[in-house]
Amino acid sequence: MTLILTPNIPDPDGFYDELLAAHDGLSKDESDAYNARLILTLANHIGDRELLRAALEAAA
């Protein structure tokens, strides 16, 4: 599997709105913890270490 780096989310603005809403009312620490849980949940869903490594490199 290859890491997709081009836009691939249907209704990206809607997703961004949902992401912002998920952080609504959270403190900075709570927001950071939420982001960490979200990242780990999505990483677990992906499950492919090579793909996850590529994502880490792309994010750098």
Q: How far is CA 1 from CA 14, 23, 27, 37, 51, in A?
A: 27, 31, 37, 24, 7
Asked if residue 48 lies in contact with residue 1, where contact means CB atoms within 8 angstroms, the answer is yes
> Structural domain of residue 58, as residue ranges?
26-60
In a domain, 14, yes or no: no
Arithmetic mean of pLDDT, 29-50: 98
Amino acid at 56: L
Question: Quick one: pLDDT at residue 57?
Answer: 97
In a domain, 33, yes or no: yes
Could you tell me the pTM of the whole model? 0.88
In a domain, 21, yes or no: no
Asked if residue 54 lies in contact with residue 4, where contact means CB atoms within 8 angstroms, the answer is no
Our count of domains for the chain comes to 1
The structure tokens listed for 9 are 């989310």
9 pLDDT above the threshold of 90: yes
- For residues 45 and 34, what is the distance between their CA atoms, to the nearest angstrom? 16
